[in-house]
Structure 1
Amino acid sequence: MEFIAKTVISVAEMMCAAAITAPKGKGVNLLHVEIFSGSRKEEVAEFMAAIGREKNIPFFIRDARNVFDSICVVFIGTATLPRQVPNCGFCGAKDCKDAISKGIHCAFATGDLGIAIGSAVSIASMHHIDNRIMFSFGKAAIEGGFVPESIKVGYGIPLSVSGKNIFFDRK
């Protein structure tokens, strides 16, 4: 069933394209998209499980099992640099300078990330590829240094094809 893995990788590539072309605030693209497969995917899954054990977060261990059982994972993350919109305050800070001093993520950056993820998972859905958006993979990829240091927020979207959806038919 080698064709299934090839199909899933092809869909993952289309998901990355959809994320990249999704609308961005002020037209600024701060996204990082990447497909994790093979040993690189396994390394992140192992790190996820380690976080789960170390910090007593059971769903990290559960999600790691799903990642091990997946063909690949699409990672979509973003840097969180402010867009310098005058008098914006959308993030809750007075202005961008105030946000930077307080370490607050730009609302445009995180909003763009959500739109990109929605665009990506719509591609998976259109091609009937089982998927689930995972905070746990994103956190592990960022904390473990698997993505560029500038990426501060991200999610993983593992992909699978099987008779039952491994991401929802689980204990």
Structure 2
Amino acid sequence: MKLNPELESLDTLAKIILTAARTAPKGKGIDDIVTCLLDPEEKAELAGKMEELSKIKSLKFLLRDARNVRGADAIVLIGLKASGVSSLDCGACGFATCKEMLAHEKVQKEFLGPQCMIKYLDLGIAVGSAAAKAKDLCIDNRVLYSAGAAACYFKMIDADVAMGLPLSVKGKNIFFDRPSTR
């Protein structure tokens, strides 16, 4: 008899969740999404980097989110490594034309930008698809800007921008009713 074997399936289910991100619709059919599943040591490293970024940026919520990453059973990162622009000249990036946006010097903070807004939408759809698939699989999760920001800032993922999706299989969702960061 195996008692409480549900965690044994998490690695496979995390890969299924990342499959949902990969197969999510992309603007013009161009896939600039980057995905990764952190091993336990990398998960601990990410939590430590989130704590470090909290000090650098004076953002206390990163400490709370780092506790969630430490308490998670797994974490996936979903990022964007933009290969170009949509060429729609839509202006959503804040520039009149795609050419003007591309000529603008990129700024590197947690994330590298500006980027084409269509690419950001692709990332949002991929992250939403992954979160929905996790919920379909009865895995608690929460989209964390903080985890993606630390992963990008400290070059743990080769992406211009990323979001973290910690995963938990416990009797209560650890990502809600969290202690205040004040």
Query: What TM-score results when the alignment is normalised by the length of structure 2?
Result: 0.87
Equivalent-residue separation in structure 2 for 1:97 and 1:81 (angstroms): 14
CA gap of 1:7–1:101, structure 2 versus 1, over 3 A, is same
Q: Secondary structure at the match of 2:38?
A: strand
Give the drift of 1:84: 4.2
**C-alpha distance after superposition, 1:13-61 (max 9, x if no partner):** 0111111110000110001000112101110110001111333211101
- Name the structure 2 match of 1:74: 76
Q: In structure 2, list runs of 5 or more residues that go unmatched.
A: 107-113
- Are residue 131 (structure 1) and residue 141 (structure 2) matched? yes
- Are residue 161 (structure 1) and residue 169 (structure 2) matched? yes
Matches within 5 A, 1:15-34: 15-34=17-36
Equivalent-residue separation in structure 2 for 1:41 and 1:58 (angstroms): 19
Equivalent-residue separation in structure 2 for 1:138 and 1:83 (angstroms): 22
Give the drift of 1:82: 3.3
Displacement over 6 Å in runs of 4+: none
Q: Secondary structure at the match of 1:76?
A: strand
CA gap of 1:86–1:166, structure 2 versus 1, over 3 A, is closer
- The size of the alignment, in residue pairs, is 169
CA gap of 1:64–1:86, structure 2 versus 1, over 3 A, is closer
- Name the structure 2 match of 1:111: 121
Partner letter of residue 126 of structure 2?
A: A
1:37–1:71 contact (8 Å) kept in structure 2: no
Partner letter of residue 87 of structure 2?
A: V
- Name the structure 2 match of 1:101: 103
